[in-house]
């Protein structure tokens, strides 16, 4: 569920490659830095840290070079993606706002700030910036990506899908195909989502990280449809394209666990966390350790998530929805997590926000209200086993045994291993 959102935000990160291909400049930069943006299109392999140092050095002698500030701000965002260190978001914010003070109509700065706000889960602000970028350049495809991504998280799906369609018309490439794939997935069109993501893969040729990212998205699609073997194949293909790619390590870890290969799963999950300690990876490692009955080690991972949350919050990242889901799943202060889920849904009124609120309500035994939100969460026809399981639990909470069984069967039929911690409960409800 939240993973689907993460996929869109990952696509936003890949969008930065398109930004760096803009060769316009307000003043000449040294060749190493002027061409450095192009190198960033290869992702991790581009040596972003070296490029940042070069840009910083150039800006010491040209502090009002707007294009140099743009590149540095965007390089900071890429570095945040590479390292998981959210302090780069704060640096990016400062540099891009400095560029805007110098050039209030600078497209790269406006669009870059929109991408930054998406990464920080500040979707209303991202939408405002995306619309501003679109007004500055109505024929620039990436602006529609920022607008569409923000609209998805705000639950304005018709407008979002229209923005993605326009983006694809203007520039049919990896970024637009990935968004079309996600739109189709949200509407329950599994075959269409796969077809669009395969087009994205064909657009990533020659870019190792982009290729790896796209293989991972294909893997997640296969996983959501219950095809564990094909999902694992795509994750391995991602690791061939980009050795040590953390997103692929995490996905393959979960797939290995589904196949009963717990030792391999734990090793892969630990590698993902060692590479970038993102909350998703740390949660998966903790849940795998819990499944392996290594509860003390699992608790250490769960405690680490709290540290990461505080670091994210200190750098302007909102994690209300993800935090609420984690806390509800792991029975952490269910009363407080319900309050958090209500606030998250107000800020992020998407089907994911609806579903997390429904789940939080169900866990507090507010079954009637939970049903209302679950219905909203399923309004697009999304084929999501976790949402189906949540609905099954809500029906059981209401005493509707037959409906609970039917929804649980839908979940386990779609993907019998959909969750590390809830799949077994779904199978029991399905009997």
User: Closest by alpha carbon to 314, among 98, 75, 85?
Assistant: 85
Q: Counting beta carbons within 10 angstroms of the beta carbon of residue 238, is it exposed (0 to 12), middle (13 to 18) or buried (19 or more)?
A: buried
For Cα atoms 418, 419, 422, give the angle at the middle one, nearest 5 degrees.
120
Domain range summary for the chain, segments of one domain joined by +: 1-171, 244-315, 320-430
pLDDT at 47: 84
CB 130 within 8 A of CB 120: no
pLDDT of 27 above 90 = no
Identical fold between 1-171 and 244-315: yes
Picking from 20-24, 148-152, 339-343, 387-391, which range would have the lowest pLDDT averaged per residue?
20-24
pLDDT of 201 above 70 = yes
pLDDT tens column, 68-97: 999 999 999 999 999 999 999 999 999 999
Q: What percent of the chain has pLDDT over 90?
A: 89
Classified by CATH at the fold level, domain 1-171 comes out as 1.25.40
How much is the mean pLDDT over the chain?
A: 91
Classified by CATH at the fold level, domain 320-430 comes out as 1.25.40
pLDDT at 20: 35
List phi, psi (to 5°) of 220.
-65, -35
CATH code of the domain made up of 244-315: 1.25.40.10
Q: For the residues 26-38, what does the mean pLDDT come to? A: 45
pLDDT at 197: 98
* Alpha helices (runs of H) in 348-399, residue ranges in sequence order: 351-363, 367-377, 385-397
The pLDDT confidence band at residue 40, using thresholds 50, 70 and 90, is very low
CB 154 within 8 A of CB 127: yes
pLDDT of 373 above 60 = yes
Question: Residue 431: how many CB atoms within 10 A of its CB?
Answer: 7
List phi, psi (to 5°) of 30.
-55, 150
pLDDT tens column, 304-317: 999 999 999 999 99
Q: For the residues 165-170, what does the mean pLDDT come to? A: 98
Residue 199 CA to residue 172 CA, distance in Å, equals 9
pLDDT at 46: 58
Give helix 2-20 / helix 66-83 axis angle, nearest 10°: 150
pLDDT at 116: 98
pLDDT tens column, 277-308: 999 999 999 999 999 999 999 999 999 999 99
pTM: 0.90
């Amino acid at each position: 569920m939240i993973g689907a959102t993460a996929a869109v935000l990952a696509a936003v990160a890949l969008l930065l490659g398109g930004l760096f291909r803009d060769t316009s400049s307000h003043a000449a930069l040294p060749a190493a830095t002027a061409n450095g943006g192009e190198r960033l299109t290869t992702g991790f392999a581009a040596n972003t840290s070296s490029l940042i140092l070069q840009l910083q050095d150039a800006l010491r002698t040209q502090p009002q070079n707007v294009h140099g500030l743009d590149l540095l701000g965007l390089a900071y965002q890429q570095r945040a993606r590479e390292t998981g260190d959210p302090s780069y978001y704060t640096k990016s914010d400062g540099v891009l706002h400095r560029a805007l003070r110098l050039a209030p109509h600078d497209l790269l700065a406006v669009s870059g700030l929109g991408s930054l706000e998406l990464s920080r889960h500040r979707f209303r602000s991202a939408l405002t910036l995306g619309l501003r970028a679109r007004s500055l350049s109505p024929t620039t495809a990436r602006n529609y990506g920022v607008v569409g991504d923000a609209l998805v998280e705000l639950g304005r799906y018709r407008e979002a899908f229209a923005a993605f369609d326009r983006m694809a018309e203007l520039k049919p490439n990896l970024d637009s195909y990935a968004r079309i794939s996600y739109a189709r997935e949200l509407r329950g069109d599994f075959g269409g989502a796969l077809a669009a993501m395969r087009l994205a893969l064909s657009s990533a040729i020659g870019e190792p990280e982009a290729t790896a990212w796209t293989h991972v998205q294909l893997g997640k699609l296969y996983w959501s449809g219950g095809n564990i073997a094909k999902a694992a194949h795509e994750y391995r293909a991602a690791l061939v394209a980009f050795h040590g790619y953390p997103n692929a390590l995490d996905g393959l870890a979960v797939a290995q666990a589904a196949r009963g290969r717990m030792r391999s799963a734990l090793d892969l999950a630990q590698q993902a966390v060692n590479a970038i300690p993102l909350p998703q990876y740390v949660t998966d490692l903790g849940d795998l350790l819990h499944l392996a009955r290594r509860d003390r080690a699992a608790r250490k991972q769960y405690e680490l998530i709290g540290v990461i949350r505080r670091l994210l919050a200190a750098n302007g990242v909102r994690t209300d929805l993800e935090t609420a889901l984690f806390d509800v799943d792991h029975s952490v202060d269910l009363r407080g997590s319900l309050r958090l889920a209500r606030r998250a849904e107000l800020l992020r009124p998407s089907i994911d926000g609806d579903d997390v609120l429904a789940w939080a309500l169900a866990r507090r035994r507010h079954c009637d209200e939970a049903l209302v939100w679950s219905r909203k969460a399923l309004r697009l026809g999304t084929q999501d086993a976790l949402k189906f399981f949540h609905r099954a639990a809500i029906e059981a909470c209401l005493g509707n045994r037959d409906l609970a069984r039917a929804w649980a069967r839908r979940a386990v039929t779609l993907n019998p291993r959909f969750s590390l911690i809830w799949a077994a409960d779904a199978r029991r409800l399905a009997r």
